[in-house]
Every structure is written in C-alpha cells, then in structure tokens.
C-alpha cells in the first residue's frame, strides 16, 4: 500500500515538468484505431519519460558521488563493512515510505531505494553475506531484500556454517531464518545463540510463496516430491488434495529440492519461483502455501552492535534463577519501563538438566535509557543476561 506522506520534492531538486499523463489504453478490439489515435500522445508521454529518466540518472550519479563523500568523511576505512550503516539505511527507507503518495506501492519504492543504497555502498567494495544455500533459497531472497543486489552472496550448506563464516570473518554478515508465521521457530538458529558471540544487527521479513516445480510442468507425472520439511508443512493441505499418493522426500533446503527434481521426470520440488529459474524447472502450480500470509522472519548476524535508528528491537537471552516467580520478575521490568515485548521463547539451556534459557524480544535499543534500566532490573532476577542485539525493525 502506498503511504500517506506529503509527496514533497526534496529541497534543491527540481522535479520534471508537471503534465497530465495520457488517458488509459482503449478497450481490446479497437487496437489499430487506438494505436493511431494515441500516436502524438504516446510520443509526448515518451518524451516526458525520457526527460524524467535523464533527471533520475543525473540525480543517482550525484547521490553516488555524495555517498563517496560520506565514505571519505568516515575516515581512512578499508573494507565495505566499515562503511555500512544499517541504522541510517533504515531511516532513509522509512522516509521513502513516509513520503510515498503513490501510484507505486511502498514495497516497490523501498526496493528501488534499497538497490540505490546497495550500489552506493558497493562503490567501496561489495559486502559479503553468508546465507543458507544453494542459490535460489528464500534465504538468498532475504539477503537481496535487505542488502540489495550489489551485495555478494555466499551460499553455505547449513545455518551452523553461516554462524561460523561470520565468526571467522570470511563473511561480513550472515542471514538466517528464525521463525515462520505458520510453523513457528527455527530452533537450530536460536540454539546457535547459546554459544555464539555474534550479534543480531537486522531483521528481514519475507513473504514466502511456494511453487510446485518440475521438469515437465505436468502434475500427472509427479510420483515424488522433494522439499524442505518446513515447506512440506506449509503446503500440507495442497499436497493432501493434489498429490496424496506421491512420496514426500525431505531435503536440506528448497533449492536443494529443486536441484534434485531437475534430474528426474517423475519428481517435483516445492520451492520459490527463483529456485525454479535457477534450476530450469516449470511451475505446475503456485502459490500453494496453505496460509496466504505465509511470512518468514530472518535475522542478520554481525560481529558488532550499531547505534539506534529510532525504531529498534532488542533481543536478549535470559537464564532465570531456579526460584518461585523468577520468570515473572524477569518480565516485570519490561512493563514497568514501558517496553513492549514482542516474543518470548524457551529452549533447553544446555546448562544442566531441565534448565531453560528464555529468548525475549522487545521494542527499543540498548542505548535507550528505559532499555538500560529494564536490563539492570532484569539482571537482579536472572542468573545471566546476554544481549543478542539491538537493531532496526524491518522496513516492510
Ligand atoms: O550515510 C552513510 O553513512 C552512507 O554511507 C551512505 C549510504 C547511502 O547510500 O545512503 C550508504 C551506505 C550506508 O550503509 C548507509 C547509507
């Protein structure tokens, strides 16, 4: 949906000459006459578009030069990582949404500006981002959604490996799935935080659309379906209705499913459209997920915390003391300091039998005073509090 902003042109930037766009195309069946009739109108509209393109291109080049200037102002830094400022990017994108008066949707404009910033940053050197590969996974889509296509994606074979590659500095950042709106938590991701020193420095929300893909594109050929267990679960109703007898074979990723389906006529895969393009498969059907709002949330892993963006979330890992009311006393300070808790999840603490660690997400940044105070109070009732990250809330 387009935003409700003021739609003002930026100061110092002269908008292209205003003019009314031509009326909508004529109805089908009158194509010849309509084409002739709109000849001058078409030429005028294209002339205006040419002029606007020239203005846009000039401004993008000017923006890229200013981004270089900002880069120099940051000092004699070397890797792209030193130039990356997620809090600033989030602020830029929020302003884009705020200003948007249509006709393009907020998501579209955010995507375009994301790509411009990605290209501006890559003038230094592209960021290297580890993700659960191979090419064509939803994790790769999340990488592009958050870092733009100028970032360099590093496909890895497991979530554990994504953590390792960021820890060992082979990747600047990593992107890992943490929860799905229908299927819940990806437990391996949470468990990695029990021992990892990495910080969460961003989140990405991705609408996940699943497709049934195969070499022939014909449903009647399918006897086996390869898919990640999460995808099988997300498409249960569709599978029951359309392929009740087909064998369901779990794979380590959707893209791996597509890769395997590529080599047999009687096999199909559940995966995203992009995996279909990468592995040359045709869509039998899609989207086939049971819930139309199927969304996966990913975390961006880095090695350091960034400053507040103005709309942030903090994730902590809390080991509660084994005493009555301990969890209540850990959560109470959040309410007392006006912080809104978005999520709480318990996992075996790996610190003795039946001990649990609580993953808690709440609004605010560790540099904010109310968060600081709440963490101090929580510390009195917890045996340990580990700050996993403070990061900008996802912008669309
Ligand atoms: O504002 C900055 O610090 C910049 O480096 C510029 C810019 C941008 O293109 O807007 C580029 C990369 C950063 O991640 C954030 C913003």
The answer on pLDDT for 330 being more than 60 is yes
Q: When comparing pLDDT for 357 and 124, which is higher? A: 357
Average pLDDT over residues 99-114: 97
pLDDT attached to residue 30: 46
Across the range 194-212, mean pLDDT stands at: 96
State residue 29's pLDDT score: 45
The residue whose CB lies within 8 Å of the most ligand 1 atoms, and thus the one to mutate among 66, 70, 71, 129, is: 70
Statement: residue 22 has pLDDT above 60: no
Please provide the average confidence, as pLDDT, over all residues in the chain: 89
- Give residue 62's pLDDT: 97
Calpha distance 333→77 (Å, rounded): 40
Three-state secondary-structure class, residue 102: coil
Measuring from each residue's beta carbon to the nearest atom of ligand 1, which residues come in under 6 Å? Answer: 67, 70-71, 83-85, 88-89, 92, 117, 120-121
Greater pLDDT, 340 or 123: 340
Which domains can be identified in the chain, with CATH numbers? 80-197 (3.40.190.10), 211-293 (3.40.190.10), 305-392 (3.30.70.260)
Nearest CA to ligand 1 atom 1: 88
Of 70, 125, 124, residue with least CA distance to 92: 70
**92 Cα nearest atom in ligand 1:** 10
CB neighbour list of residue 206: distance below 8 Å, 6 or more residues apart: 138, 141, 142, 145, 295, 296, 297, 298
Element of type H or E holding 274: helix 273-278
CB-CB neighbours of 83 under 10 Å:
20
Report helix, strand or coil for 84. Answer: coil
**pLDDT attached to residue 16:** 41
Residue position matching structure tokens 């819930």? 291
The interface predicted TM-score of the complex, written ipTM, equals 0.98
Which of 68, 82, 83, 114 most suits a substitution to test ligand 1, by most atoms within 8 Å of the C-beta?
83
Q: Is the pTM of this model over 0.90?
A: no
- Which ligand 1 atom sits nearest the alpha carbon of residue 88? 15
User: 216 exposed, middle or buried (CB, 10 Å; 0-12, 13-18, 19+)?
Assistant: middle
Question: Which of ligand 1's atoms lies nearest the C-alpha of 63?
Answer: 9
Q: Which of 33-42, 60-69, 199-208, 370-379 is predicted with the least confidence, judged by mean pLDDT? A: 33-42
Predicted pLDDT of residue 21: 65
Interior/surface letters 277-311, b for 16+ CB within 10 angstroms, e for the rest = ebbebeebbbbbbeeeebebbbbbbbeebbebbeb
């Amino acid at each position: 949906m387009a935003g409700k902003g003021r739609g003002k042109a930026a100061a110092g930037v002269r908008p292209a000459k205003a003019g009314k766009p031509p009326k909508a195309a004529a109805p089908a069946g009158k194509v010849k006459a309509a084409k002739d009739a709109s000849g001058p109108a078409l030429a005028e509209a294209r002339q205006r578009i040419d002029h606007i393109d020239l203005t846009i291109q000039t401004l993008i080049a000017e923006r890229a030069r200013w981004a270089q200037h900002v880069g120099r102002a940051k000092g004699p830094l070397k890797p792209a990582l030193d130039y990356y400022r997620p809090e600033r990017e989030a602020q830029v994108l929020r302003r884009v949404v705020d200003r948007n008066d249509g006709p393009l949707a907020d998501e579209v404009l955010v995507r375009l500006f994301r790509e411009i910033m990605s290209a501006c940053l890559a003038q230094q050197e592209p960021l290297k981002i580890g993700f659960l590969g191979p090419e064509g996974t939803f994790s790769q889509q999340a990488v592009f959604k958050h870092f733009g296509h100028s970032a360099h994606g590093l496909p890895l074979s497991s979530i554990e490996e994504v953590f390792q590659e960021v820890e060992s500095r082979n990747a600047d950042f990593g992107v890992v799935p943490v929860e799905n709106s229908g299927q819940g938590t990806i437990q391996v991701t949470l468990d990695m935080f029990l021992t990892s020193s990495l910080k969460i420095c961003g989140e990405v929300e991705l609408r996940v659309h699943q497709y049934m893909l195969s070499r022939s594109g014909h449903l009647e050929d399918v006897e086996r379906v390869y898919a990640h267990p999460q995808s099988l679960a997300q498409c249960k109703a569709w599978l029951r209705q359309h392929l009740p007898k087909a064998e369901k074979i779990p794979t380590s990723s959707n893209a791996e499913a597509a890769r395997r389906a590529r080599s047999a006529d009687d096999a199909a895969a559940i995966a995203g459209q992009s995996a279909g393009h990468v592995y040359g498969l045709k869509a039998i059907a899609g989207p086939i997920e049971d819930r139309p709002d199927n969304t996966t949330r990913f975390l961006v892993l880095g090695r350091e915390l960034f400053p507040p963006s103005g709309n942030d979330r903090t994730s902590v890992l809390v080991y509660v003391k084994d005493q009555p009311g301990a969890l209540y006393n850990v959560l109470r300070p959040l309410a007392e300091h006006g912080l809104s808790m978005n999520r709480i999840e318990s996992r075996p603490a790996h610190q003795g039998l039946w001990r649990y660690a609580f993953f808690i997400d709440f609004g605010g940044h560790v540099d904010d005073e109310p968060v600081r105070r709440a963490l101090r109070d929580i510390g009195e009732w917890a045996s340990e509090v580990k700050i996993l990250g403070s990061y900008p809330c996802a912008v669309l």
